[in-house]
Each structure stands twice: as structure tokens, then as C-alpha cells.
Amino acid sequence: MTPTVLILGAGSDMAVAIARRYAQAQYAVQLAARRPEELHTLQQDFQIRHNVAATAHSFDALDFDSHAAFYQSLPARPDVVICVFGYLGDQEKGQQHWEEAARILHTNYTGAVSILNIVAEDMAARKTGAIIGISSVAGERGRMSNYLYGSAKAGFTAYLSGLRNRLFHAGVHVMSVQPGFVYTRMTENLTLPPLLTAKPEQVAEDVFKAAARKKNVIYTRWFWRYIMLIIKSIPEFIFKKLKL
């Protein structure tokens, strides 16, 4: 039987790369995004290039009340669910305007918890499946330049850890992904260090391989594990004086 993967937030560059990797592996692909009509070309590409079923579905991470109906409407229960959506937002704007702060917090944390709670209940009942959450290294230590985003990702990382602990006993695997800098539309206005910045395709390959090996937590690219180890080891009385 053909396995199925659900990509939540399928319109992003990283999500498209991950969806392509799963289509290459002959997964049927369910693409969920706020503007599913924009995914028509991607659907056709998967169907023609890889001969796999590809469907597009309307999904809004911030419309919490619609999440249960969205999941119930899927043509098949997914074997793998990958939560990719996120919103970097504007830190300075968020400091001054709650509307921006709320969008950052709810997109990166509340929306993810809302839909993954529903997925978790279904997979626990079936005693099978895998949930993959794309968090961020930004959640490992708060920095003045993006602590709203980072705090939401910190919460999401903790949520995935607890979910992994709970669902292990039901035969469901949960993997946390901690990306560093990635070249995407979300980061196109940032000046990123080339040696430390990955392409979406590199992240997708890391995610696919790690999920197949049932890894619990991965950093992508791999060197971010050691970069964050150094950053987390800086004493607070020194760290608070830095402008990061």
C-alpha cells in the first residue's frame, strides 16, 4: 500500500523541497496551505515526474476552529505528518504592536499545537505513524534580535519532546528538526553567512534520511548542533551584554 505524507504549510520553499523528496520515494503527497490553488503546478509535477498521487488542501494555521474539520476531510489518513509552517515576523514591530507579536507566537506555536494534537490523537488510536516538527535553533537561547520567534520555537521544541515521550508508548514516532540558517523567501531580506546557510534541498534530504532512521532530534545542517552547544555554554552575565 502506498504510504502518504501530509505537508502542513506546503507553500514554503522548505516544505516544497521536503514534499519533493517524499514524492521521489513514492509517497502520495497531501499539500496543505492557505492558498492551495497555487500548488497546482507542484501537484502536476509530482504526478507526472514521480507517478504519485498529489492533492492540495486549504489549511490556515491560525484558524484553530477549522483544524479538526480539515483533518477529517483528507482523502486518506497520513502515515507521516510534517509541520513546516512558520512566521519569522518583525521583532521590533512585535515589541511595539501586540498584533504582530501574536501572529509570531500563534503561527509558530499555538497553530502547530492545535493541529498536531488532532494528528496525535488519530495516530495514537491507530498505533502507527510519524510526526515531524520543524522547529529552529532560535529556540535554544533567546536573543535580542528575534526572541519573540525564538520563544515560540522554544515552546514548540518542548511540545515535540513531550509528544515524543507520550506517543512512543503508542508506537508513533515524533522527530524534532532544528534548522539553522536556510535560504528561503522567509529569510531573503536577511544577510546570512554562506558557510552556515543551507539550501532547502539539503534540509529536505536530512529530514528524509533521519525520519527513515527514526531519529529523535536532528540539527540541519549537522554543524549547528555544535554551534548551539557553544552558544548555550556562554555564561548569562556575558551573554546579556552581547548584541545578537
Q: Which three cell numbers stand for residue 168?
A: 512512543
Checking 36-43 for CB contacts under 8 A at 24+ apart, the result is 38/11, 39/10, 39/11, 42/10, 42/16
- pTM of the shown model: 0.95
61-96 exposure pattern, b = at least 16 Cβ within 10 A, e = fewer: beeeebbeebbeeeeebbbbbbbbbbbbbbbeebee
Q: Read off the pLDDT band of 214 (50, 70, 90).
A: very high
Give the model's confidence band at 216: pLDDT under 50 very low, under 70 low, under 90 confident, else very high. Answer: very high
Mean pLDDT of 166-185: 94
Which amino acid makes up residue 8? L
> Is the confidence at residue 193, as pLDDT, over 90?
no
Can you state the angle between helices 40-49 and 13-24, rounded to 10 degrees? 20
From 61, 85, 25, select the one nearest 211 (Cα to Cα).
25
From the list 71, 87, 109, 149, the catalytic residue is: 149
**Distance in angstroms (rounded) separating the CA atoms of residues 4 and 244:** 41
Q: What is the pLDDT of residue 187?
A: 73
Q: Is the distance from CB of 81 to CB of 8 less than 8 angstroms?
A: yes
pLDDT at 183: 81
164: β partners: none
Architecture of the CATH domain 4-239 = 3-Layer(aba) Sandwich (3.40)
Classify strands 173-179 and 4-8 as parallel, antiparallel or unpaired: unpaired
Share the mean pLDDT of the chain: 95
Beta bridge partners of 75: none
149 a catalytic residue: yes
HEC sequence for 162-211? HHHHHHHCCCCEEEEEEECEECCHHHCCCCCCHHHEECHHHHHHHHHHHH
What pLDDT shows up at residue 195? 82
**How much of the chain, in percent, has pLDDT values that exceed 90?**
92
pLDDT of residue 226: 96
pLDDT tens readout for residues 47-85:
999 999 999 999 999 999 999 999 999 999 999 999 999
| Interacting residues of 217 by C-beta distance below 8 A, sequence separation 6+ | 175, 176, 177, 178
For residues 16-42, give the mean pLDDT: 96
